[in-house]
Amino acid sequence: MNKRLEMALRLLGNRRFHRLLDAGYGGGVFLPELARRAEELHGVDVHPYQAEVEAMAQAEGLTARLRRAGLCDTGYPDRYFDAVVCISVLEFIGDLRGAIAEIHRIVATRGTVILGFPGQNLATSLGYFFARTPSPGVVHKANYRMILAEASRHLRLIRLLRFPCFVPSCLVLYFAAEFERT
């Protein structure tokens, strides 16, 4: 998890944003870092633990405007965000086209979109096997090729990071990509 967040932070760099959305905030582990980069921090997730994550954020001295919503219908106005960060979410969404279209709709022109997603190969399958979790092919509805292709239909790819960086794409464990809405 740390490597995923580190890759996303590397893509965000030192930039500061007016409004930033954490799309799929989960347990809120990334909110403190994102709060340092945004005047207004927002988050959406489908789970029912919004109150618990808000309490954690308040205990950390953070102001995060969280809402329970899916990535295909966030409820935000068009071009509302300067940046959208979506880490380890898209691979679980059945309607990948709808999710990417929604991200495109809510991010401002020239806005930043950071997407993070796992590779899918023998190494990742073995990792899931040894962790005694279902294979990525079972739990993931989209793979890295699908995510990159769909995102590239709507957004302009700026940078693509791979972990590990020295292997071909077919062996990568995790990708983080920076896109821009044109």
Locus of tokens 């950390």: 60
What pLDDT is attached to residue 170? Answer: 78
Question: What average pLDDT does the segment 13-41 reach?
Answer: 96
Q: Are strands 174-180 and 64-68 parallel, antiparallel or unpaired?
A: unpaired
Q: How far apart are CA 100 and CA 10, in angstroms?
A: 22
Q: What is the CATH number of the domain that holds 125?
A: 3.40.50.150
What pLDDT is attached to residue 44? Answer: 98
Query: Residues 6 or more apart from 40 whose CB is under 8 A from it?
Result: 18, 19, 20, 65
Q: How far apart are CA 89 and CA 46, in angstroms?
A: 11
Q: How far apart are CA 41 and CA 130, in angstroms?
A: 36
pLDDT tens-digit map of 82-139: 999 999 999 999 999 999 999 999 999 999 999 999 887 666 666 666 676 666 666 7
Amino acid making up residue 159: R
CA angle 97, 38, 54 (to 5 degrees): 80
Residue 39 has pLDDT above 70, yes or no: yes
What pLDDT is attached to residue 127? Answer: 66
Residue 75 has pLDDT above 80, yes or no: yes
The dihedral built from the CA positions of residue 149, 122, 10 and 60, taken in this order, carries a sign that is positive
Count the domains in the chain: 1
Instruction: Annotate 50-72 with DSSP letters as a single string.
Output: HHHHHHHHHHTT--EEEEE-BTT
Q: What's the domain range around 155?
A: 2-180
Question: What average pLDDT does the segment 131-155 reach?
Answer: 82
**Which of 2 and 25 is assigned the larger pLDDT?**
25
Of 11-25, 143-157, 162-176, the poorest mean pLDDT is in 162-176
What pLDDT is attached to residue 120? Answer: 75
What pLDDT is attached to residue 155? Answer: 98
Contact (Cβ atoms closer than 8 angstroms) between residue 107 and residue 81: yes
